[in-house]
């Protein structure tokens, strides 16, 4: 089936058609013309913006094991509804994604509108003691390796992993967190943790591991990617390592660019995050890191939790929030601080580049991977609009401005506001 997207305003810094209006003709999953005049299905996109398909580097779909929070189908629907054509899943399932059959289970699952990628378990059982069968997992389809929401605390294991992965050109994703400093903490250590009487995690918990891992990388070579960095000190260390030519990349979550530890002042468990939201100084340094390229990508850090896990005292509740469907309005909030072109690179070309995945662009003969959004649309995330199985969003019930109205992923497409 041929599809014609008329009057599309292109926002794609990697495309020669950036900031131009085009009529995008899509045939057999490929953009075949920018001046299409006839198709079996035609849609007028006047008033909408069209981006290259967004790529999320960090999301939980909880399948297998905790499908009551999210599963591959509901997670993919939420991702597409939030503008993502590609999502990399973390291995923190039950059991973890650590074998060839685990990888095949996810990648062979038919899900709507989204291409799934897997950051497979780096250590057996995510325990940090023994490496998984890295080569087998790579050839089964793993895009990278990580222990996900658990830091790789074992320096020897990380050293060996960096050596082994050089031959298969795969990055290792690391949640930088010193387990001895972060154990049983619930918030960033600072004025707010003192006022609320909550045990806080100091920023150096992250900085110490970033520093350690950079030194290991300098010794071994390889590729390391710091996932969801949250502290200003980490930005400084990564910036310095990049200037030295080390193969280090980083991402931060979109919420860490917006919220600080002040957001938990009323013990709102939807604001309890992993890693915790930090100070305003940290947030501003993260923004600066995105602007100057120290931080390569922005992820959703989509972490669904059921109501029972959140409707508890703050120190007993689970960390995390759903973040896929509200990604675009959150992105627009940042546009005053960071140019939209940089934000888009952080969710389109940069994630694909650091994973070694072929780039996409809005141009002739390119795969049709498109995100279509209305920057003026106002809406509310509630039970009538939510596509996730979970409701743990800091934006629940609030009016939002900016909404994804459709996605195209090769020969599949959906429009959510028909």
pLDDT tens for residues 250-265? Answer: 999 999 999 999 999 9
* Predicted local confidence at residue 416, as pLDDT: 80
Q: Is the pLDDT of residue 101 over 50?
A: yes
DSSP state of 96: -
In the numeric block, the tokens 């940042």 are attached to 334
| 53-355 and 2-50+363-415 share a CATH fold | no
**Exposure string for 292-319, b = 16+ CB within 10 A, e = fewer:** eebbbbbbbbbbbbbeebbeeebbebbb
SS3 content of the chain, % helix, strand, coil (to 5): 30, 25, 45
Residue 236: enclosing H or E segment and its boundaries? helix 232-243
pLDDT tens for residues 116-151? Answer: 999 999 999 999 999 999 999 999 999 999 999 999
Q: How far apart are CA 349 and CA 324, in angstroms?
A: 18
Pick from 29-43, 63-77, 168-182: least confident: 29-43
Where do the structural domains in the chain lie, given as residue ranges?
2-50+363-415, 53-355
Extended strands (E) in 93-214: 115-121, 144-146, 172-174, 187-188, 200-201
The answer to pTM > 0.95 is yes
pLDDT tens for residues 68-99? Answer: 999 999 999 999 999 999 999 999 999 999 99
Q: How confident is the model at residue 418 (pLDDT cuts 50, 70, 90)?
A: very low
Token pair in block for residue 341: 């072109």
Structurally, at CATH architecture level, domain 53-355 sits in: Alpha-Beta Barrel (3.20)
Token pair in block for residue 221: 């070579």
Residue 56: enclosing H or E segment and its boundaries? strand 54-59
* Predicted local confidence at residue 220, as pLDDT: 97
Q: Say how many C-beta atoms besides its own lie within 10 A of residue 29's C-beta.
A: 16
* Predicted local confidence at residue 38, as pLDDT: 87
Residue 197's contacts (CB-CB under 8 Å, 6 or more residues apart) are: none
Task: Say which CATH topology domain 2-50+363-415 has.
Answer: Urease, subunit C; domain 1 (2.30.40)
* Predicted local confidence at residue 91, as pLDDT: 98
Summarize the confidence of residues 183-196 as an average pLDDT.
Answer: 95
Q: How far apart are CA 79 and CA 168, in angstroms?
A: 29
Per the DSSP assignment, residues forming a β-bridge with 399 are: 380
DSSP state of 365: T
* Predicted local confidence at residue 140, as pLDDT: 97
Residues constituting the chain: 418
Q: How far apart are CA 354 and CA 170, in angstroms?
A: 9
Q: Is the pLDDT of residue 8 over 80?
A: yes
Summarize the confidence of residues 371-388 as an average pLDDT.
Answer: 97
pLDDT tens for residues 332-349? Answer: 999 999 999 999 999 999
Average per-residue pLDDT in the chain? 96
* Predicted local confidence at residue 36, as pLDDT: 77
* Predicted local confidence at residue 417, as pLDDT: 67
């Amino acid at each position: 089936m041929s599809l014609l997207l008329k009057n599309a305003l292109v926002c794609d810094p990697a495309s020669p058609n950036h900031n131009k209006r085009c009529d995008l003709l899509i045939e057999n999953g490929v953009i075949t013309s920018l001046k299409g005049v006839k198709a079996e299905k035609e849609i007028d996109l006047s008033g909408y913006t069209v981006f290259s398909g967004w790529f999320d580097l960090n999301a939980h779909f909880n399948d297998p094991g905790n499908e009551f929070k999210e599963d591959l189908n509901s997670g993919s629907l939420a991702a597409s509804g939030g503008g993502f054509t590609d999502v990399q899943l973390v291995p923190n399932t039950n059991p973890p994604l650590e074998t060839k059959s685990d990888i095949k289970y996810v990648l062979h699952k038919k899900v709507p509108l989204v291409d799934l990628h897997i950051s497979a378990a780096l250590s057996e059982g995510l325990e940090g003691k023994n490496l998984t069968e890295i080569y087998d997992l790579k050839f089964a389809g793993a895009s990278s390796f990580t222990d996900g929401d658990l830091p790789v605390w074992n320096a020897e294991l990380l050293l060996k992993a960096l050596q082994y992965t050089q031959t298969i050109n795969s990055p290792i994703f690391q949640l930088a967190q010193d387990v001895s400093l972060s154990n049983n903490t619930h918030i960033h250590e600072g004025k707010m943790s003192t006022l609320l009487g909550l045990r806080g995690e100091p920023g150096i918990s992250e900085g110490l591991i970033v520093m350690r891992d950079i030194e290991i990388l300098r010794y071994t070579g390889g590729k390391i990617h710091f996932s969801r960095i949250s502290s200003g000190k980490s930005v400084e260390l990564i910036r310095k390592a990049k200037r030295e030519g080390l193969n280090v990349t980083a991402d931060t979550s979109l919420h860490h660019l917006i919220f600080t530890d002040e957001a938990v002042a009323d013990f709102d468990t939807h604001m309890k995050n992993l890693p915790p939201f930090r100070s305003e100084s940290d947030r501003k340094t993260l923004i600066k890191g995105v602007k100057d390229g120290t931080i390569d990508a922005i992820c959703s850090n989509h972490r669904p939790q059921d109501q029972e896990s959140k409707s508890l005292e703050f120190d007993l509740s689970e960390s995390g929030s759903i973040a896929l469907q509200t990604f675009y309005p959150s992105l627009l909030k940042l546009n005053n601080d960071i140019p939209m072109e940089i934000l888009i690179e952080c969710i389109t070309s940069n994630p694909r580049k650091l994973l070694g995945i072929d780039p996409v662009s809005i141009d002739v003969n390119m795969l049709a991977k498109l995100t279509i959004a209305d920057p003026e649309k106002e809406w509310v995330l509630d039970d009538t609009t939510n596509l996730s199985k979970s409701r743990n969003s800091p934006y629940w019930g609030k009016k939002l401005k900016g909404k994804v109205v459709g996605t195209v992923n090769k020969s599949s497409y959906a429009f959510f506001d028909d």
